[in-house]
Structure 1
Amino acid sequence: MKTPQNDKLKYHTPPLPSKSQQKSEAKSRTHRLAMPSPSLRLAVVGAGAAGLVAARELRREGHSPVVFERAASVGGTWLYDAAPATSDPLAAGAAHSSLYASLRTNLPREVMGFLDFPFASSAAEAGGGGDTRRFPGHDEVLRYLEEFARRFDLYGLVRFGTEVVRVRRDGGGGGGRWAVTSRKIGEKGRREEEEEVYDAIVVCNGHYTEPRVAHIPGVEAWPGKQMHSHNYRVPEPFHDQVVIIIGASASAVDISRDLAGVAKEVHVADRSAPACTCKRQPGYDNMWLHSMIDHAQEDGCVVFQDGSSIKADVIMHCTGYLYDFPFLEDDSAITVDDNCVDPLYKHVFPPEVAPHLSFIGLPWKVIPFPLFELQSKWVAGVLSGRVKLPSREEMMEDVKAFHSKMEARGWPKRYAHNFSDCQFEYDDWLAEQCGHPPIEQWRKLMYAANSENKAARPESYRDEWDDDHLVAEAAEDFKKYL
C-alpha cells in the first residue's frame, strides 16, 4: 500500500504573490482599466465552488459581483447536512447537499484543486485537524473552499441566507439588464422580497439537488420504501434490510458498499448490464449485481429483466439529478429537455441573450473545479470586452453543429453535457480564449492514471496507486503558489 504524505503541501493561506506575479497582475489591471467597457454590476447565483471562483474572476476583471446563497455558509453541495428535512425521500426537500457521511473524493486532491490554489495536503500537526489523505472526505473539500474564499476575500461579496426567487429581463431587448428578485430565508413581513437590477446574471446553482428517479412499472402498489441517494446519509437505518440500488455510477458504488456492512442483502440494478445478469459481487457475501428492474409487485417483490425476483424493503434510486433553474422566467432564452440545457454556446452562453446570461458548471464527467475556473475566466473576459464572442448567428450554428454531432454518434439529448471524452480539449479551448496556459500535462496524466486504477482496484484505489512520479511533479508545480 502506498500512502505518500506530501508534508510540504499545505493549503493554509498562501503568502502574497511574488514580485514577478505582482508585476504581472499590475500589468493586467492596467490593461483592464484601459478597456472601454465599464465595470458591471453582476448577480451570481450560488456560493459553491463554481460561484466562488466566478466571483473571484469577475472581480479580477474589474466587475462588481453580488453572490446570492441560500445557505448560511459557502460550499454549495459540499456543505454536509446530517439530517435532510423532507417528507418525500424521493425529492429534494429542504436539503441542498447530496453528501453522505462516508463520502470520499473519487479524484486525487492534486487533480481537484483550482489551477492557482492547490488542494494540497493539510497537515494535522499545524493545528487544523485536517484530513491528510490523498482522497479526503467531504469535510476536507469544504475546508479547502472556505480557505479559497478567505484567501481571495470573497465572503464580503456573498449574501448568505438569501434565495433568488425570480430572474427576468428588465425592459426586454436582446439581453440588456436583468431584474433579480430575492428573499431572505425565513424572513417574514412586507419586505420579504426585494427586486434589484443587474447588468448580467451568472448562474452557478449546481446540478446535484433535484433528484432524477427511475420509472418502475407497478411501483405505485409496491409496499416497500423508495428513496433517492440525495437523502441517504448513513447505513445504520438499513440494518438487516434487503435493499435494491438502481445505478452504477459513483454514488451507487459507494452506497452499496456502505450498506453491505449492515444490510441483510444489497442488490444493484444496472441499466447497462445484460438482461441475464445476476451475479454475486466479488468480496461480498450479501451483494449481487443484476440487470435493470422490470417491474414491482404488490406482494413486495421486485422483478428484474431476467425474470428473477427479490422481496425487498427499500429501493434506492442512485440515478443522478436534473438541471433545474426554477428562478429563470421564460425570457431566459433556454429550455431544459431530457436534461439538456439548450441552446447554449459552448455550454455557457444562450446566444439570444449572450453575454448577459451565462451558466458555470453544467458539464459532468469532468474535473469540476478547474473547469469552473476556466469557464469563469471566459465569462469575466467576455463581459469586460477583453474577449469577443462570435455573432449570435454564428453561435447558433455552433450549437446546431454540436447537436448534429451528438445525433450522428447516437447519443441521447441527456448526454449533451457529458464530457467523458472531451473535457481537456474543452478546457484547453477555454484557456486559449482567455489567454491562459493549457491544463497541466501532469493533471491530465494523473486523471487518466486514476481512472485506470479505479477500474483495476475498485475497492482500494483511494488508498493504493502507482503514480507517485506524477504526485512529485504536481508538488513541484505547486511551489509557485504555496
Structure 2
Amino acid sequence: MPTAQPPTTTFPHRSIPKITRIAILGGGPSGIAALARLLKFRPTHFPTIDLFEQRNDVGGIWNYTDETSPLVQYHGEDAEPRLLLPLDDSRGRLAREEGDIPVLVRGQGKHGEKERQEWEEEEWVFPSPIYPSLTANLPKQLMEWGDWPFGREVDMFPGHREILQYVKGYFRRLGVREVRRGGRGTGMPAYRDGDDGTGDKREEREEAEHKHDGVTAWFGKVVREVEKVPVEGREGGEWRVVVGNVDVNVGGDKSDDSNKGEGEERYYDAIVIASGRYTVPYIPDLPGLKEWVLAGKGKRSVEHSREFREVEEKYKGKRILLVGSSISANDILRLLLPLAPSLPIYQSMRSPTLPKSNEILPVPTISHLDPITGDIHLHAATSTRYCTIDPLTSEILPPAPAPASTAITTLSSIDLILFCTGYLLTAPFLPTTHYSAPSPRGTHIPHLLLHCLSSADPTLARLGLPYRVSPWSIAAGQAGVLGRLWSRNLALEEIEAVDQEMGREMGREMEVDVKWEGREWGRKVEGPGRERGAWTHLLTPPRDFLFLERLAGLSKLADGRDEGRDGAEVRRWVGDYDDWSMYLRRVRMLLGEVSERYNKAVAEGRTIRELEEIGLGWEEVMRESKSGGGGGEEAEVEVQVEVKGDGAVI
C-alpha cells in the first residue's frame, strides 16, 4: 500500500489556530519531555494538557516486566502454535493494526509497592522489551535532561532500574494531577465504593496535591482512535481522541459484558504522539520461516530480542542462530554465551566480521528455510561493508577480510532463531491511510518537519523518532519548538526554512558527505532496493549536533519575541565551543573510547560513576582537543550502519 499523500486543502498551510487544549499520547521519556516543556508556557498558554499512558505509571518501556510477548504462542498441548509474524506483503500490518498488546497476569499484581497489598488478583501488564541486565548505551552525562541531572551515586552507564527511577523523579517534580482508575487493569486497589479507607475519594485526594489546574496524567488508558474532524467556525477543525480503560478495550474475556465499550471521546486543538518506537518487532520475510517452525512440532522456535530474558533453562543445550549485528544484538550475544556454553552460537549478519571467539561463528544472511529437513540455507558471502576512519589521518580504512565461517552455506539442527532486527514504527490509533501514519513498511513517518511536525497539519506532532542520538535532549528541544509554534511566537515558515537548510547541510540522499569542524565524515550505502525513507530519522554524530543547533536557533529566535524563555531545552549542547557543550560533543564522538575504558575499569572491579574516573574529564578531553594531539574525535568512528532487507536500519 503506498503511503498516503498529505492533503492540500484540509488545513490552511500558513495558519496556526489558537491552541488551548493539547493531548500527549504516551508517558515515556519523550512524552514527559513534551509535558515539561509545554508546562513552561503556562499559564499564558495551553490551559488544558492531558497525558494518556496505557501503563500504570510513567516510564514507558523502562518499566521492566518478567512477562514477554512471544512470537510463537501455544494454547494447549495439541493446539497448533500461533505465530505473530508479519509475513504478509504489507510488513507494517502488525504495527498499523495491533500496536502494543498486554498480557493478563493471574495472581498478585507484580509491580506495586509493598503497602499496596489489596490489589485485584488480575492485572494487565504491557511487556517491556528490556532484559534484566540491560544498561544504557550512552553515559548518563549524555542522557540526562539539563535541568535534572542524574545523581553522582548512579553508575556512568545506568541500569534500567536507575533510569526508571530518574524518569519518575523528573515527572513527579512537575506536580501534575495523576488519575488512576482503581480495579483490574490498573495496578491500583479496587476501591469499589470510591473510598481508600481514609475517608477521602482517591481522585479528590490526588487533585488536592497537584500544582497545575487543567493538567492531568491519565494512567491505564489506551488511545483507540485519533482523527481530525471539522468544526463550524474553527479553521482546520479539531482532533477527536477516543480513549478507554485497558481492561475494557484490550484483551480480556470476550464473553464478559464488562469488557465491552467504545471508549470516551475527547477533543483537542493539538496532538503530540509520544508512543515510542520499540513495540512491534520487525521479522524479515524469509521464505519457509513459518513452515519451518510448524514442522518442528515444538522443537524449533523463533524469538525476537524483545522477549529475551536471561533464563538458562530457556537456552541451555540449544543450537542458536542469532540474526542481526546491532548494539543490542551483540549485547544479547554476550549474555547468551554463559547460558548455552557447550555449543557455538551462529550470528547471521549482512557483513560478517572476524569472530571474536570460537564460541561465536559469523555467517551470511538467511536465504530460505527447509521445513522438512530443518536446514537453513544461507546467501553467498558478500564483502564486508563496514569501515572505520583512521584516527590520525582521517582516511577511510579498507574493510577487513571475510571470516572463514562465511563459506558455510547451510546450517542444520538449529533449535532457535533469535531475531535482533529492530522494530517497526506504530500508530494503531491512526487510519492506515492517514498522511502521518507510518510508512507501509513501518520504517519511518513521512511528511514531517524537524522529524516531528506534520507538514500537512502543524497541530500534529510526533516525538521520539530520531535514533543513534541523545534522544531525550532531542525530544526536549523538539517539544520546545512545538510550544513556541503553538503559542504563536514562532512562524511555520521559519520552521520550514530551517528544515530545508538541514536537508541541504546533512543530505537526505543515500550517499552523504558531511563536514564538521574541518573533518569529513562519509557514508555510502550499497545495494539495490533500499527504501530511502528508512534513513529519514537516522542522525548519527555529528548530525545530531547540527540538529540540536537548529532547534536551539529556532527557540532563541522565538524567545526574542517572548521574554522569560531562553532555549534552555538544548542550551547545554549548543553553547560556545569552549564551554560544557563542546565537551559533551567531544565525549559523544569518543563514545567508543568511553565504553572501552569503562569496560576495562569494571573488569578490574571498579565502580565508575563519572567520566573523570576513566581519564575523560573536561580538562583531559578539552586539553587534548586544543593541543591537536588526536582531537576530540580521536576514537574510531563507525561510518556504516547495517541495513535490513527492506531498507530499515537495525
Pairwise TM-score range, normalised by the shorter structure: 0.7 to 0.9
Tell me the alpha carbon deviations over residues 315-371 of structure 1, each in whole angstroms, 9 at most, x when there is no partner: 0110000111111136743243241211111211111111x1001111111111111
- Assess, with a 3 A threshold, how the Cα gap between structure 1 residues 231 and 344 changes in structure 2: closer, same or farther: same
Aligned residue number for residue 171 of structure 1: 230
Aligned residue number for residue 137 of structure 1: 159
**Is 1:290 paired with 2:367?**
no
- Does the 8 Å CA contact 2:449/2:496 hold for their aligned counterparts? no
- Assess, with a 3 A threshold, how the Cα gap between structure 1 residues 372 and 249 changes in structure 2: closer, same or farther: same
Q: Gaps spanning 5+ residues in structure 2: where?
A: 1-15, 74-81, 86-99, 103-125, 179-215, 249-257, 380-406, 513-524, 557-566, 574-580, 621-650
Structure 2 counterparts to residues 49-128 of structure 1, below 5 A:
49-62=29-42, 63=46, 64-86=48-70, 87=73, 93-94=101-102, 95-122=126-153
- Assess, with a 3 A threshold, how the Cα gap between structure 1 residues 163 and 335 changes in structure 2: closer, same or farther: closer
- Assess, with a 3 A threshold, how the Cα gap between structure 1 residues 46 and 327 changes in structure 2: closer, same or farther: same
1:446 to 587, 595, 600: 587
Aligned residue number for residue 265 of structure 1: 344
- Does the 8 Å CA contact 1:84/1:93 hold for their aligned counterparts? no
Tell me the alpha carbon deviations over residues 26-81 of structure 1, each in whole angstroms, 9 at most, x when there is no partner: xxxxxxxxxx9866210000000000110111111122320010000110011111
- Does the 8 Å CA contact 1:45/1:205 hold for their aligned counterparts? yes
Offset of 1:397 from its aligned partner? 6.7
Partner secondary structure for residue 255 of structure 1: helix
Aligned residue number for residue 477 of structure 1: none
Partner secondary structure for residue 484 of structure 2: helix
**CA distance, structure 2, for counterparts of residue 268 and residue 70 of structure 1:** 36
Aligned residue number for residue 416 of structure 2: 314
**CA distance, structure 2, for counterparts of residue 335 and residue 403 of structure 1:** 25
- Does the 8 Å CA contact 2:24/2:51 hold for their aligned counterparts? yes
- Does the 8 Å CA contact 1:345/1:398 hold for their aligned counterparts? no
**CA distance, structure 2, for counterparts of residue 393 and residue 48 of structure 1:** 28
- Assess, with a 3 A threshold, how the Cα gap between structure 1 residues 345 and 382 changes in structure 2: closer, same or farther: same
- Does the 8 Å CA contact 2:129/2:305 hold for their aligned counterparts? yes
The residue identity in structure 1 corresponding to 2:241 is: V
**CA distance, structure 2, for counterparts of residue 389 and residue 365 of structure 1:** 27
Aligned residue number for residue 19 of structure 1: none
**Is 1:359 paired with 2:462?**
yes
Aligned residue number for residue 252 of structure 1: 329
**CA distance, structure 1, for counterparts of residue 355 and residue 504 of structure 2:** 44
**CA distance, structure 2, for counterparts of residue 189 and residue 152 of structure 1:** 34
**CA distance, structure 2, for counterparts of residue 413 and residue 424 of structure 1:** 21
**Is 1:281 paired with 2:332?**
no
**CA distance, structure 1, for counterparts of residue 369 and residue 259 of structure 2:** 47
**CA distance, structure 2, for counterparts of residue 391 and residue 427 of structure 1:** 16
- Assess, with a 3 A threshold, how the Cα gap between structure 1 residues 262 and 390 changes in structure 2: closer, same or farther: same
Name whichever structure is richer in helix by fraction: 1
The residue identity in structure 1 corresponding to 2:245 is: K
- Assess, with a 3 A threshold, how the Cα gap between structure 1 residues 207 and 89 changes in structure 2: closer, same or farther: farther
**CA distance, structure 2, for counterparts of residue 89 and residue 457 of structure 1:** 42
Partner secondary structure for residue 106 of structure 1: coil
1:202 to 248, 264, 272: 272
Q: Gaps spanning 5+ residues in structure 1: where?
A: 1-35, 123-131, 475-482
Offset of 1:280 from its aligned partner? 3.9
Residue range with higher mean Cα deviation, 224-233 or 88-97? 88-97
Aligned residue number for residue 386 of structure 1: 489
Aligned residue number for residue 4 of structure 1: none
**Is 1:242 paired with 2:319?**
yes
Partner secondary structure for residue 225 of structure 2: strand
When Rg is computed on C-alpha atoms for both structures, the one with the higher figure is 2
Partner secondary structure for residue 340 of structure 1: coil
- Assess, with a 3 A threshold, how the Cα gap between structure 1 residues 252 and 54 changes in structure 2: closer, same or farther: same
Offset of 1:460 from its aligned partner? 4.9
**CA distance, structure 1, for counterparts of residue 260 and residue 362 of structure 2:** 55
Partner secondary structure for residue 144 of structure 1: helix
- Does the 8 Å CA contact 1:202/1:358 hold for their aligned counterparts? yes
- Does the 8 Å CA contact 1:442/1:473 hold for their aligned counterparts? no
**CA distance, structure 2, for counterparts of residue 171 and residue 403 of structure 1:** 38
2:435 to 333, 337, 344: 333
- Does the 8 Å CA contact 1:245/1:269 hold for their aligned counterparts? yes
Aligned residue number for residue 479 of structure 1: none
CA RMSD after TM alignment? 3.1
Normalised by the length of structure 2, the TM-score is: 0.60
Offset of 1:311 from its aligned partner? 2.3
Which one has more relative contact order, counting CA pairs under 8 Å at least 6 apart?
1
- Assess, with a 3 A threshold, how the Cα gap between structure 1 residues 175 and 423 changes in structure 2: closer, same or farther: farther
Q: Identity of counterpart residues, as a percentage?
A: 26
Aligned length: 422
- Does the 8 Å CA contact 1:226/1:316 hold for their aligned counterparts? yes
- Assess, with a 3 A threshold, how the Cα gap between structure 1 residues 67 and 190 changes in structure 2: closer, same or farther: same
Aligned residue number for residue 480 of structure 1: none
Tell me the alpha carbon deviations over residues 272-312 of structure 1, each in whole angstroms, 9 at most, x when there is no partner: 33xxx6x5433xx4222222122222322323334142421
Offset of 1:134 from its aligned partner? 1.3
- Does the 8 Å CA contact 1:83/1:233 hold for their aligned counterparts? no
The residue identity in structure 1 corresponding to 2:30 is: A
- Does the 8 Å CA contact 1:184/1:193 hold for their aligned counterparts? yes
- Does the 8 Å CA contact 1:343/1:396 hold for their aligned counterparts? no
Offset of 1:401 from its aligned partner? 6.8
The residue identity in structure 2 corresponding to 1:418 is: L
Tell me the alpha carbon deviations over residues 211-268 of structure 1, each in whole angstroms, 9 at most, x when there is no partner: 1112322223323201111111224211111111111112111111111102133111
Offset of 1:388 from its aligned partner? 1.9
Aligned residue number for residue 8 of structure 1: none
**CA distance, structure 2, for counterparts of residue 257 and residue 89 of structure 1:** 27
- Assess, with a 3 A threshold, how the Cα gap between structure 1 residues 262 and 191 changes in structure 2: closer, same or farther: closer
**Is 1:40 paired with 2:20?**
yes
Aligned residue number for residue 450 of structure 2: 346
**CA distance, structure 1, for counterparts of residue 588 and residue 151 of structure 2:** 16
